[in-house]
């Protein structure tokens, strides 16, 4: 299918029929892609990396169209920055694709097995999930990252990026598809939803016969809609209300470095810290120090009464603050009187995404790691490390706080499942 937008006058029936045809093509492409040798997929990845650099001018032109329309759509500075492509950013995307080519292929990977006493061989092998429906924000680099991960893991993907990035995404998808065909891979393994009409999202969510998994990456209302309507499994996180707990036995220099990084390095992403817990034994010394460091970075502090007593002038925190994902330079602070109180607070107000302890006490670190119920627990490290690349997965399509089928950063392996291969020599069951 040519990657163009549907005419505005297309009616609901025409839109649904077009989406259905697209989904069926994705299903067929997934069947073909499932057992393509790694070398061919890697050849495609390397061709993509090269083309992103070579076709830079036309890609930047498409992006300029989106950027020109963005102010009328009310995009703020952070959103504009996410939308914008530059030569350097395209090069970074190309580099990411080259890295995916170097990663081991999870398809066909032996994940365990044994020879049974009767001689039967039981083997567990990695296989693709099938067709992934990926809904994401207006961030064109994500289009390429997601397509690269899906194809390398043998999956077809239906991309539904933010409407503000439509022209850029269509240009990127066109390029990715042309190269699929050139490398002998099914072109329909990558398709974009050819309309920004949100009704189309609802159609895809109703077709579990064509779509095996939906990954919504965006704000809470998107995720809630997808969870309510999807008839196939959803991989997601709602929000990232991440904590740093500074224990009584913390190295305070280390604690300061970690908190400043977790809060300030990139406040608008899901693994940034939103709340700081400080043990009462060190609060007198540590709170003024960390407040000064954070305020230097422009962070607004909102504290519990014990924090406000030590930091006069800051805003008192409310219950809502403790549950809030600010995605901004704001931090709630609470003084706690024990490790147990810190753990209880995190498990009550947190979003089970990423939570960190800073301590030199091994026992405290162990207890925190065992009892904090989050997808990633950091010991003496910034919450910002909850990322597929940083954690050694090569790249990620998103982060999951679900318990099935994957938790934490989702890379190539998380985009696959497995099947059993049982080999006998005429074995029959007694």
Ligand X SMILES: NC(=O)C1=CN([C@@H]2O[C@H](COP(=O)(O)OP(=O)(O)OC[C@H]3O[C@@H](n4cnc5c(N)ncnc54)[C@H](OP(=O)(O)O)[C@@H]3O)[C@@H](O)[C@H]2O)C=CC1
d(C-alpha 24, C-alpha 29), whole Å: 9
Contact (CB, 8 A) for 114 and 124? no
Maximum separation of any 2 CA atoms in the chain, in Å: 80
The beta-strand segments (E) located in 308-415 are: 315-316, 330-336, 354-358, 376-379, 398-400, 408-410
Order of strands, sheet of 121-128, starting from the edge strand that comes earlier in the sequence = 110-115, 121-128, 416-423
Q: Which of 43, 225, 371, 405 forms a contact with ligand X (CB under 6 A)?
A: 225
Q: How far is the CB of 396 from ligand X (least distance, A)?
A: 13
Contact (CB, 8 A) for 381 and 89? no
Residue 141 or 174: the one with the smaller Cβ distance to ligand VHF is: 141
Residue 219 binds: one of ligand VHF, ligand X, none (C-beta under 5 to 8 A by kind) = ligand X
Residue 387 binds: one of ligand X, ligand VHF, none (C-beta under 5 to 8 A by kind) = ligand VHF
Q: Which of 221, 253, 319, 429 forms a contact with ligand X (CB under 6 A)?
A: 221
Q: How far is the CB of 183 from ligand VHF (least distance, A)?
A: 29
3-state secondary structure of 279: strand
Tokens 């709602």 correspond to what residue? Answer: 238
Q: Which of 153, 191, 271, 332 forms a contact with ligand VHF (CB under 6 A)?
A: 271
> Is the sign of the CA dihedral 85, 88, 94, 100 positive or negative?
negative
Looking at 28-36, 86-94, 268-276, 400-408, which segment touches ligand VHF (CB under 6 A)? Answer: 268-276
Could you say which residues in the range 35-64 bind ligand VHF, by CB under 6 A? Answer: none
Residue 341 or 390: the one with the smaller Cβ distance to ligand VHF is: 390
Query: In this structure, what is the dihedral angle of CA atoms 363, 402, 35, 207, given to the nearest 10 degrees?
Result: 180
Is 69 a binder of ligand X (CB under 6 A)?
A: no
Residue 311 or 376: the one with the smaller Cβ distance to ligand X is: 376
Is 269 a binder of ligand VHF (CB under 6 A)?
A: yes
Residue 32 or 137: the one with the smaller Cβ distance to ligand X is: 137
d(C-alpha 228, C-alpha 51), whole Å: 39
Residue 105 or 396: the one with the smaller Cβ distance to ligand VHF is: 396
d(C-alpha 289, C-alpha 291), whole Å: 5
Is 409 a binder of ligand X (CB under 6 A)?
A: no
Which residue is closest to ligand VHF by CB? Answer: 387
Is 196 a binder of ligand X (CB under 6 A)?
A: yes
Contact (CB, 8 A) for 416 and 154? yes
Is 327 a binder of ligand X (CB under 6 A)?
A: yes
The mark string for 237-256 relative to ligand X (x by CB under 6 A, - otherwise) is: --xx----------------
Could you say which residues in the range 361-420 bind ligand VHF, by CB under 6 A? Answer: 384, 387, 396, 399
Residue 302 binds: one of ligand VHF, ligand X, none (C-beta under 5 to 8 A by kind) = none
Looking at 264-272, 279-287, 318-326, 357-365, which segment touches ligand VHF (CB under 6 A)? Answer: 264-272
**Exposed e or buried b per residue across 72-103, where buried means at least 16 C-beta atoms within 10 angstroms of its C-beta:** eeebeeebeebbbbeeeebeebbebbeebbeb
Q: Which of 160, 177, 217, 352 forms a contact with ligand VHF (CB under 6 A)?
A: 217
Is 390 a binder of ligand X (CB under 6 A)?
A: no
Contact (CB, 8 A) for 373 and 347? yes
Q: Which of 219, 305, 316, 424 forms a contact with ligand X (CB under 6 A)?
A: 219
Question: Judged by CB under 6 A, how many residues of this single chain contact ligand VHF?
Answer: 8
d(C-alpha 73, C-alpha 280), whole Å: 47
CA distances, 26 to each of 159, 176, 204 (Å): 11, 15, 12
What value does the CA radius of gyration of the chain take, rounded to a whole number of Å? Answer: 24
Is 118 a binder of ligand X (CB under 6 A)?
A: no
d(C-alpha 98, C-alpha 91), whole Å: 11
Tokens 């913390």 correspond to what residue? Answer: 250
Contact (CB, 8 A) for 121 and 424? yes
d(C-alpha 216, C-alpha 205), whole Å: 11
Is 72 a binder of ligand X (CB under 6 A)?
A: no
Q: How far is the CB of 92 from ligand X (least distance, A)?
A: 20
Q: Which of 157, 201, 234, 294 forms a contact with ligand X (CB under 6 A)?
A: 201
Q: Which residues bind ligand VHF (CB under 6 A)?
A: 217, 269-271, 384, 387, 396, 399
Q: Which residues bind ligand X (CB under 6 A)?
A: 135-137, 160-163, 196, 198, 201, 218-219, 221-222, 225, 239-240, 268, 270, 325, 327
């Amino acid at each position: 299918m040519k990657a163009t937008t549907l005419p505005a006058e297309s009616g609901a029936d025409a839109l649904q029929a077009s989406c259905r045809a697209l989904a069926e093509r994705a299903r067929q492409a997934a069947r073909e892609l499932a057992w393509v040798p790694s070398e061919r997929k890697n050849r495609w990845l390397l061709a993509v990396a090269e083309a992103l650099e070579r076709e830079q001018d036309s890609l930047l032109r498409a992006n300029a169209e989106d950027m020109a329309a963005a102010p009328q759509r009310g995009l703020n500075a952070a959103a504009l920055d996410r939308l914008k492509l530059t030569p350097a950013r395209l090069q970074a995307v190309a580099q990411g694709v080259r890295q995916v080519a170097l990663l081991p292929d999870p398809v066909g990977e032996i994940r365990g097995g044994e020879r049974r006493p009767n001689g039967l061989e039981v083997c567990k092998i990695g296989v693709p999930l099938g067709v992934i429906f990926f809904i994401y924000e207006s961030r064109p680099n994500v289009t390429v990252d997601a397509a690269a991960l899906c194809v390398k893991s043998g999956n077809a993907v239906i991309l539904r990026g933010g409407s503000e990035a439509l022209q850029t995404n269509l240009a990127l998808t066109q390029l990715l598809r042309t190269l699929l065909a050139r490398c002998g891979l099914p072109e329909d393994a990558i398709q974009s939803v050819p309309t920004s009409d949100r009704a189309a999202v609802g159609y895809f969510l109703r077709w579990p016969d064509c779509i095996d998994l939906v990954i919504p990456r965006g704000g809470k209302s998107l995720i809630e809609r997808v969870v309510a309507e999807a008839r196939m499994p959803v991989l997601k996180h709602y929000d990232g209300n991440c904590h740093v707990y500074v224990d009584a036995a913390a190295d305070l220099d280390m604690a300061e470095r970690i908190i400043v990084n977790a809060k300030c390095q990139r406040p608008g992403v899901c693994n940034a810290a939103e709340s700081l817990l400080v043990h009462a034994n060190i609060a007198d010394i540590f709170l003024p120090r960390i407040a000064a460091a954070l305020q230097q970075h422009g962070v607004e502090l909102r504290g519990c009464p014990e924090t406000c007593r030590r930091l006069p002038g800051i805003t008192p925190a409310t219950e809502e603050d403790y549950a809030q994902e600010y995605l901004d330079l704001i931090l709630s602070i609470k003084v706690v009187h024990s490790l147990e109180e810190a753990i209880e607070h995190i498990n009550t107000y947190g979003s089970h995404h990423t939570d960190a302890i800073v301590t030199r006490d091994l026992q405290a670190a162990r207890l925190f790691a065992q009892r904090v119920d989050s997808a990633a627990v950091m010991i003496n490290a910034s919450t910002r490390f909850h990322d597929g690349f940083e954690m050694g997965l090569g790249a990620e399509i998103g982060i999951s706080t679900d318990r099935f089928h994957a938790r934490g950063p989702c890379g190539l392996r998380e985009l696959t499942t497995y099947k059993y291969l049982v080999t006998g020599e005429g074995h029959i069951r007694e």
